[in-house]
Structure 1
């Protein structure tokens, strides 16, 4: 049985964000999610939706991810998303919108493992918001299960900033996930 105090949040692994620079992370995320779900753990996917008049459109002149197929979770993860604890739709960077906060409260999660796309924006913001959420929630950023569609330099910048915001010990690799601590002896 899985320790119900931990959740894996898979951030925005959507067709519109998977490009040459970020595609390598999809199989890593599939592996982490499949192992997490096989152990009985809670998994939440986020799905970003842009909209006309958003700050992304207004300030960045960016009007992508407004409709399918760009907004769809990548095909490799659909079977896992269908079995997820929740799929949170969002129009902001972070998982911590009204629905995300309600999920954290109702499930009593104490550890949030974050991975996905893009390390320097939505993954970073989710990890930092988890840190800021309260003393009872501990963020973990899974470095090799995160990537940036803007390339390696943006990913590395996100990791650097995350280590400054949430602590260098909170940046881990998928192989560092403490599966033994997360699973309880039956």
Structure 2
């Protein structure tokens, strides 16, 4: 992982996706964001917005996340989102909206480190799209969760291994070790 060329992507940590299955990810993501920000590395947040007539309504009859408070970033991360490098609003699964694609290209990031909700959908799709765009995608397995439960989270990780490579799935401890080593190396320069 090239921390010097990496951005942390916090996927859809919104009230409407946090429940008894995914709540444990909030402190894990908060810790990652705090340490990443302390190392002066860029953090991007995504926010999903459903809308009337969306494919989610048409095919799933799913009408949630259309307005606050469901669409709001969880309180534990609200301030971090305010100070983030960017907040990308999206109406689909992926981070790769035209604005985000341009932001990533302009910034010259080579690695995108994903955490958040939901592992099997928005985290997975964003990581797979990063892979297809030529970026090194990383999924932080213990700072991601599924609001549909641990079995669905695990299924998302199985598919991620097939789509982006087993070595691209890492723990928060691994990422923090890389971040600490990077911060130590930059202090010595």
> TM-score, structure 2 length as denominator?
0.94
CA distance in 2, matches of 1:55, 1:3: 36
Please point out which of 130, 136, 139 is paired with 1:138: 136
CA-CA distance at 1:149 after TM superposition: 0.3
**Structure 1 residues 103-132: Cα deviation after superposition (integer angstroms, max 9, x where no partner):** 111100001000000000000000000000
Detail structure 1 runs of 4+ shifted over 4 Å in the superposition: none
C-alpha contact 2:93 2:121 (8 A) present in aligned 1: yes
Partner of 1:49: 49
Equivalent residue number for residue 170 of structure 1: 168
The question of 1:14 aligning with 2:14 is answered: yes
**d(CA) in 2 for partners of 1:180 and 1:39?**
8
Show structure 2 runs of 5+ residues with no match.
none
Check the 8 A contact 2:3/2:179 in 1, yes or no: no
Retained in 1: the 8 A contact 2:47–2:87?
Answer: yes
Instruction: Point out where structure 1 has 5 or more consecutive residues left out of the alignment.
Output: none
Q: Describe the superposition over 1:139-171 as per-residue Cα deviations: whole angstroms up to 9, x where unpaired.
A: 000000000000000000000000110000000
The size of the alignment, in residue pairs, is 183
How far did 1:179 drift? 1.4
Give the TM-score taking structure 1 as reference length. Answer: 0.96
Asked if the contact 1:140–1:170 (Cα under 8 Å) also holds between the matched residues in 2, the reply is yes
- Note if contact 1:131-1:138 (Cα within 8 Å) is conserved in structure 2: yes
After superposition, the Cα gap between the structure-2 partners of 1:12 and 1:84, relative to the gap in structure 1 and judged at 3 Å, is: same
CA distance in 1, matches of 2:3, 2:138: 16
Greater percentage in helix? 2
SS at match of 2:129: helix
Equivalent pair of 1:6/1:182 in contact (CA under 8 Å): no
Aligned residue for 1:114, secondary structure, equals strand
Helix, strand or coil at the partner of 2:23: coil
